[in-house]
């Protein structure tokens, strides 16, 4: 009879994600993961199968937790343009907080592995699509509210806002200057006029 699992898989995924987030996929060893997750080799392999599988699972975990929270913004009862502005302000703020320079996990993974790991690239793309769809919903709502130019293509604006917000999180990794990051955000938002 197999022994029951004595750990919380969600907690273990969060711990693994933090290691990959800090070190990157290639620089993370099995030993790093086992220590952070507080698992034996056998428990690790029985539950996750491989380093690569736990990496993919962490991307899915991030999408289902952090990125899913972003999608909730579209449902808030506030003017859409103000919500979009708030997302940019939050990104600039986050990048200047202690520990914030880690940036976005999906961005980091995209840069780290997408070119050579199509499986990870697909998961990363679907995570970034959540943000794009959130912006699309907000832009369309803002156009109906009259705060965003109605003559502009909503999908194009959503894609631009997604890339600009992700750009803030990438630039903030090497230059966590609040004024610079806020300036980038304010400039990006002018496309809504």
Q: pLDDT tens for residues 3-60?
A: 445 789 999 999 999 999 999 999 999 999 999 999 999 999 999 999 999 999 999 9
Asked whether residue 9 is assigned to any structural domain, the reply reads no
How many domains would you assign to the chain?
A: 1
Asked whether residue 76 is assigned to any structural domain, the reply reads yes
Per-position DSSP letters for the chain, written without gaps between them: -PPPP-S-HHHHHHHHHHHHHHH-TTT--HHHHHHHHT--HHHHHHHH-SHHHHHHHHHHHHIIIIIHHHHGGGGSSS-HHHHHHHHHHHHHHHHHSTTGGG--HHHHHHHHHTTT-HHHHHHHHHHHHHHHHHHHHHHHHHHHHTSS-TTS-HHHHHHHHHHHHHHHHHHHHH---HHHHHHHHHHHHGGG-
Asked whether residue 97 is assigned to any structural domain, the reply reads yes
Domain of 67, CATH number, reads 1.10.357.10
pTM: 0.91
Q: In whole angstroms, give the CA distance from residue 137 to residue 116.
A: 32
Asked whether residue 186 is assigned to any structural domain, the reply reads yes
Asked whether residue 130 is assigned to any structural domain, the reply reads yes
171 lies in which domain range? 62-192
Asked whether residue 68 is assigned to any structural domain, the reply reads yes
Asked whether residue 51 is assigned to any structural domain, the reply reads no
In this predicted model, what pLDDT tens digit does every residue of 116-168 receive, in sequence order?
999 999 999 999 999 999 999 999 999 999 999 999 999 999 999 999 999 99
Asked whether residue 52 is assigned to any structural domain, the reply reads no
């Amino acid at each position: 009879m197999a022994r029951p699992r004595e750990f919380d898989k969600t907690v273990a995924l969060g711990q693994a994600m933090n290691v990959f987030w800090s070190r990157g996929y290639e620089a993370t060893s099995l030993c790093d993961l086992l220590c952070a997750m507080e698992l034996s080799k056998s428990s690790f392999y029985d539950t996750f199968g491989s380093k690569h599988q736990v990496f993919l699972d962490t991307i899915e975990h991030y999408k289902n937790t952090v990125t899913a929270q972003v999608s909730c913004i579209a449902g808030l009862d506030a003017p859409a343009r103000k919500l979009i502005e708030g997302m940019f302000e939050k990104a600039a703020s986050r990048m200047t907080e202690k520990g914030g320079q880690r940036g976005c996990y999906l961005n980091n993974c995209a840069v780290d592995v997408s070119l050579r790991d199509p499986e990870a690239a697909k998961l990363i793309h679907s995570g970034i699509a959540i943000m794009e769809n959130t912006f699309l919903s907000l832009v369309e709502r803002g156009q109906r509210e009259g705060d965003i130019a109605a003559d502009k293509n909503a999908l194009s604006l959503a894609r631009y806002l997604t890339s600009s917000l992700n750009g803030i999180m990438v630039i903030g990794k090497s230059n966590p200057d609040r004024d610079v990051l806020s300036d980038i955000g304010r400039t990006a938002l002018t496309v809504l006029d």
